[in-house]
């Protein structure tokens, strides 16, 4: 997608055919900086410090991390060390493990001298596949948006929560992909961007990528969406998901459930966009999904830019007040109008998902 008019992905191989560049997402939205990864350690550090974030992008970074490791040493021992180093950075990230294993499986059978070239090709394939999958989610979702917009003059108002945009993937994003595709096709769209406390990925990342790509949008606090829906100012919601049960329950960033309730109460479609890889074929009831409790500093402190330049972190709560920070919630399938996948749109139900992913389990 565009940054100041120039097309970017979140990760790309440099012309030297060796080093890999990524957008430093910890500096957004205030500074756009590209960071060059030259070693396995650079890649691991980028994942660990959330220079890159979002499951698909973490996977692609790990894939290139294996390449960077093989540049120094292509032996089995080095390959195992690279895989272990990368998967240890964020132990709960499913895509991280998946991408690392795919890379290792792909090169292990080859003689040492052939491994590096094969690894770079496979990493590029992982990145390209992710971009294509997201584009496909975008195509299917854009059709939904076109249908909703039929006969309207005013822009279609879409509300989104957190960041499931191209910054979380290699390109296009998941929840925002339908918006980018619809925009490309000339459909006027306006996005309500939930700031998404506590980490403010909406205000920082979603707003930034929409602004850079030239898509009209407005940042709101997480409290505002219900009122906007009551006032007829939201035509549909689209969010991403971290994990989807095979019955269509959706675990996503904390607060998603509240927006789904409001959409349901106001008869507004609530869509969830996802690649098939986030479907958990072992869990029937979303209530069984364990919810990560994150550090309370994310609630009691916030970081932003100072008018004078530079950033600062400020404390928001009384010193004597404890805080709690559940990071995700589960939206039951009954509140989800449809799931938008790379294979098409389906009902948020076991029948819907098995129809698109037959034979999967």
Closest approach, Cβ 204 to a second copy, in A, equals: 7
- Applying CB under 8 A, among 44, 127, 193, 348 the residue interacting with a second copy is 193
248: alpha, beta or left, given left = phi > 0 and alpha = psi -120 to 50?
left
Closest approach, Cβ 33 to a second copy, in A, equals: 14
**Gap between the Cα atoms of 210 and 132, Å rounded:** 20
Residue 16 main-chain phi, psi, to 5 deg: -70, -5
Closest approach, Cβ 44 to a second copy, in A, equals: 29
- Applying CB under 8 A, among 285, 288, 326, 351 the residue interacting with a second copy is 326
Closer CB to a second copy, residue 40 or residue 348? 348
**Gap between the Cα atoms of 354 and 351, Å rounded:** 5
Question: Under DSSP, is residue 67 helix (H, G, I), strand (E, B) or coil?
Answer: helix
Q: Tell me, residue by residue from 228 to 247, as one string, x for binding to a second copy by CB under 8 A and - for no binding.
A: x-xx----------------
**Gap between the Cα atoms of 38 and 319, Å rounded:** 43
Structure tokens at 235: 């035509």
- Applying CB under 8 A, among 165, 225, 269, 352 the residue interacting with a second copy is 225
Q: Exposed, middle or buried by CB within 10 Å (0-12, 13-18, 19+), for 4? A: exposed
**Contacting a second copy within 292-311 (CB under 8 A):** 299-307, 311
Stretch that binds a second copy, among 12-20, 248-256, 269-277, 352-360 (CB under 8 A): 248-256
Structure tokens at 258: 């509240």
Active site residue 242: yes
**Gap between the Cα atoms of 327 and 148, Å rounded:** 31
- Applying CB under 8 A, among 94, 258, 283, 356 the residue interacting with a second copy is 258
Could you tell me which of 22, 68, 77 has the C-alpha nearest to residue 47?
Answer: 22
Name residue, tokens 């430093």.
24
- Applying CB under 8 A, among 200, 239, 247, 278 the residue interacting with a second copy is 200
Could you tell me which of 244, 331, 330, 245 has the C-alpha nearest to residue 284?
Answer: 245
Q: Establish if 155 lies at the interface with a second copy (CB under 8 A).
A: no
Closest approach, Cβ 332 to a second copy, in A, equals: 9
Do 171 and 10 touch, CB atoms closer than 8 A? yes
Stretch that binds a second copy, among 25-33, 36-44, 55-63, 97-105 (CB under 8 A): 25-33
Q: Establish if 130 lies at the interface with a second copy (CB under 8 A).
A: no
**Gap between the Cα atoms of 330 and 144, Å rounded:** 24
Q: How many CA atoms are closer than 13 Å to the CA of 328, on its beta-carbon side?
A: 19
Q: Establish if 179 lies at the interface with a second copy (CB under 8 A).
A: no
Q: How many CA atoms are closer than 13 Å to the CA of 320, on its beta-carbon side?
A: 0
Q: Establish if 254 lies at the interface with a second copy (CB under 8 A).
A: yes
Q: Establish if 120 lies at the interface with a second copy (CB under 8 A).
A: no
Q: Establish if 325 lies at the interface with a second copy (CB under 8 A).
A: yes
Q: Which of 139, 222, 242, 280 is catalytic?
A: 242
Residues contacting 308, CB < 8 A, separation 6+: none
Closest approach, Cβ 152 to a second copy, in A, equals: 20
Interface residue list for a second copy (CB under 8 A): 28-30, 192-193, 195-198, 200, 203-204, 207-208, 210-212, 217-228, 230-231, 253-255, 257-259, 261-262, 265, 287, 291, 299-307, 311-318, 320-326, 328-330
Q: Give me the active site residues, please.
A: 242
């Amino acid at each position: 997608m565009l940054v100041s008019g120039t097309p970017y992905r979140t990760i790309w191989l440099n012309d030297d055919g060796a080093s890999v560049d990524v957008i430093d997402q910890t500096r957004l939205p205030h500074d756009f900086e590209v960071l060059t990864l030259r070693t396995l350690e650079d890649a691991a550090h980028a994942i660990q410090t959330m220079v890159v974030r979002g499951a698909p992008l973490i996977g692609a970074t790990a894939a290139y991390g294996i390449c960077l490791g093989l540049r120094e040493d292509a032996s089995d021992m080095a390959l195992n060390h690279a895989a272990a180093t990368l998967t240890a950075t964020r132990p709960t990230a499913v895509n991280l493990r998946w991408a690392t294993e795919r890379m290792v499986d792909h090169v292990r059978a080859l003689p040492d001298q052939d491994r590096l070239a094969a690894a770079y090709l496979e990493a590029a394939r992982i990145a390209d596949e992710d971009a294509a999958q997201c584009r496909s989610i975008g195509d299917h979702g854009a059709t939904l948006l076109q249908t909703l917009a039929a006969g309207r003059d005013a822009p279609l108002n879409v509300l989104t929560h957190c960041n499931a945009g191209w910054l979380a993937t290699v390109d296009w994003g998941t929840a925002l992909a339908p918006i980018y595709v619809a925009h490309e096709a000339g459909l006027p769209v306006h996005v309500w961007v939930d700031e998404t406390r506590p980490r403010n990925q909406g205000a920082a990342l979603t707003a930034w990528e929409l602004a850079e790509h030239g898509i009209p949008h407005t940042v709101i606090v997480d409290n505002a969406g219900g009122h906007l829906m009551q006032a007829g100012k939201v035509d549909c919601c689209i969010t991403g998901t971290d994990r989807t049960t095979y019955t269509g329950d959706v675990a996503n960033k904390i607060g998603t459930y509240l927006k789904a309730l409001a959409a349901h109460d106001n008869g507004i479609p609530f869509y969830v966009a996802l690649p098939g890889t986030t479907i958990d074929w072992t869990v029937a009831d979303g209530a069984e999904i364990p919810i990560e409790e994150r550090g309370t500093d994310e609630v009691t402190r916030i970081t932003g830019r100072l008018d004078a330049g530079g950033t600062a972190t400020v404390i928001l709560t009384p010193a004597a007040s404890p805080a709690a920070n559940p990071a995700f919630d589960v939206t039951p399938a009954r509140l989800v109008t449809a799931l938008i996948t790379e294979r098409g749109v389906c009902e948020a139900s076991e029948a819907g998902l098995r129809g698109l992913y037959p034979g999967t389990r």
